[in-house]
Structure 1
Amino acid sequence: MRDVVEQLQRLGMSGYEAKAYVTLVVAGQPLNGYEVAKRSGVPRSTVYETLGKLVGKGAAYELRGPEEAVGYLPLPPKSLLERMRREFDDSIESLQASLPTIVAPPGAHMIHNLKGTEAVLARAEDVIAAARTDLFLSIWPDEMKQLCPLVGRVAERGVEVSIVHFGPAEVSVGHLYEHRFPVPDSVIENLGCSLLVVVGDCSEVLIGGFVNGSAWGVYTEDPAVVLMSVEYIKHDIALQIIADRLGHDTLREFWNSDPELMRLRAAHGHPAALLRAVGMPDL
């Protein structure tokens, strides 16, 4: 019952209203205010005000008996949930039209930092769900397991999805390219963490780092950062295509012997160390 009360609160009921409604549902018969207060824990001093609010919202009904006795019955849960769904959908539709009209032009591009796996993945889900035209991801298996169902739904509605996935993927979604060159273990060794990059509609990006059970992240709408993130993923995908076309052994030999490529790869350690120091100071 506690979980039901909490969920009803999330949908707009106060704590007292949720407790009173659940009590009426469980009772299965009309209850007066005294009985609702006794069974629900709603104070007697406020129970009639609470029941009145439920009646006003259409979530409960008054039944008047002999000598003006008043009882209360709940709106059946199925009907209540359908009504809440309709009201929620109507509000969203209205806000989609009205809310953008009152937004002031930003003085600076939005950017904020995130800490912890849950926060990083939740923000990644926001970017994925908001995509309408294209979606670019650079992702590792652990993060793909959580985000794959949502990515699949986005692809099904026509968004062009391009993914570079480090190692074999359990499910192929959109245009998915397995990152096999260089091998994922060498990427981890070079960077010191696994990076998640999610770019939606070439207008917003979530960049996250995961290592030793900790995570940090940065979200921004800055066009320069978004552009670099898209190009980073495109170049990684291009490298996988080139490796498949030319042969991994041939490209590996070139990769490990060309002095300029070796110089560029060797420089990755310092920025990776800076990222870890800024994003995860406790590591």
Structure 2
Amino acid sequence: MLQQFGFTQYESQVYQSLITEDQPLDATGIVKRSGVPRSKVYEVLHRLAEKGMIMESTVEKKRLYTALPIEATIKKLKADFETNVQQLREAQIKKTVTDDRVWTLKDNQSIQSVLQGLLQGAEQSIIISGWADDLAGYLPLLEEKYKNGHSVKIHVIGELSTEIPDVSTLIPDTQHGTLERSRILIVDEEEMLFAGMEDTAWQAIRTKSRPLVKFFAEFFYHDVALTEITRKYKDTVMKDEAVRNVLLNLRY
């Protein structure tokens, strides 16, 4: 119950045993209902009391415990979360003069959050590539940056309706069997993020390394060039079997 909020399994079990009872319990009753070992129950009760999750009372020399009411618990958890978020925002992060390390990142939600943060922090230019249904979530921010004078270049697989003029669109057909889900983002020509699928899970790298930023920028323009060639000369190149096979084996 409480593990997703940072509590231990034993803490969650003890709290649940108390919140589901309409009367206070002593340590023996908590052990029976929670499954927490007797050797651990007092330690767990102490931690929960310190965290303000339970109330204690002594009646006829017996120590009794009851859970904080559920609505009060919800309000407390929300308040704790907001406090932690604010402390995180205010945390001072030491800046290094040059950081050319390559950082790896997993989990799609984390990757999307980092990408969003990079977009928001862009001061001059944005280069971004991905699938239409993926980029659609970032479109309002991209259009806002464009309206504010940023250079915004987009390469997209699939239809994407936008007022940004510099968009290269590849409409895949049944012959594009090798196309893979990926994202490329380069901001201000100094930092990049590349994300791709591996075994059905997203993984990414992020870096300010100049050689890698330059490489992925060239990779972006390589995709744009192939898209435009395919779009303008599709009928011609697709009639040439050798050229067609080469194009269809490239990752746009």
Q: TM-score range by the shorter chain?
A: 0.5 to 0.7
- Is 1:92 aligned with 2:73? no
Of the three residues 216, 232, 236, the one matched with 1:229 is 216
- Name the CA distance, whole Å, in 1 between partners of 2:234 and 2:156: 23
Map 1:1-283 to 2 at 5 A. Answer: 4=1, 8-65=2-59, 67-101=60-94, 108-112=100-104, 119=106, 121-131=108-118, 132-134=120-122, 136-140=127-131, 144=134, 151=138, 155=141, 163-168=154-159, 175=164, 177=167, 179-180=169-170, 183-185=171-173, 188=176, 192-199=178-185, 201-202=187-188, 203-209=191-197, 214=200, 217-221=203-207, 222-230=209-217, 232-233=219-220, 251-252=232-233, 256=237, 266=246
Q: Letter of the aligned partner of 2:182 in structure 1?
A: L
For the Cα contact (< 8 Å) 2:143–2:163, is it kept in 1?
no
**Unaligned residue ranges in structure 2 (runs of 5+):** 147-151
Provide closer, same or farther for how the CA distance between residues 63 and 10 of structure 1 changes in structure 2, counting only shifts above 3 A: same
Distance 2:202 2:127 in 1: 20
SS at match of 1:197: strand
Q: Distance in 2 between matches of 1:148 and 1:26?
A: 45
Paired letter, 1:205: L
Q: CA deviation at 1:84?
A: 2.7
Q: Deviations over 1:168-187 (max 9, x none)?
A: 35xx578595724xx42388
Aligned partner of 1:110: which letter?
V
Change (3 A) 1:186 1:97: same
CA distance 1:40–1:157, shift in 2 (3 Å): farther
How far, CA to CA, are the matches of 1:70 and 1:173 in structure 2?
66
Aligned partners of 1:136 and 1:199 also within 8 Å? yes
State the identity as a percent.
Answer: 22
Letter in 1 for 2:9: G
More helix, by proportion: 1
Deviation of 1:230 (Å): 4.7
Contact kept? 2:129, 2:185, Cα under 8 Å: no
In 2, distance between residues paired with 1:200 and 1:94?
A: 29
Q: Deviations over 1:230-280 (max 9, x none)?
A: 56547766998x89xxxx6xx3379749xxxx98x95895x86xxxxxxxx
Give the 3-state SS of the residue equivalent to 2:159 in structure 1.
coil
Rounded to whole Å, the distance in 2 between the matches of 1:22 and 1:228 is 54
Alpha-carbon distance in 1 for matches of 2:222, 2:26: 69
> How far apart are the structure 2 equivalents of 1:239 and 1:267?
8
Deviation at 1:26, TM superposition (A): 1.3
SS in 1 for 2:20: helix
Q: How many residue pairs align between the two structures?
A: 233
For structure 1, the 5+ residue unaligned runs are 273-283
**Equivalent pair of 1:138/1:164 in contact (CA under 8 Å):** yes
Structure 2 match to 1:281? none
Residue 196 (structure 1) shift: 1.0
Using structure 2 for the length normalisation, give the TM-score: 0.68
Q: CA deviation at 1:73?
A: 1.6
Residues in 2 aligned to 1:133 and 1:174: alpha-carbon distance in whole angstroms: 21
Q: Give, in whole Å, the separation in 2 of the partners of 1:224 and 1:109.
A: 11
Q: CA deviation at 1:86?
A: 2.7
CA distance in 2, matches of 1:174, 1:54: 54
Are residues 137 and 53 of structure 1, via their aligned partners in 2, closer, same or farther at CA, if it must alter by over 3 Å?
A: same
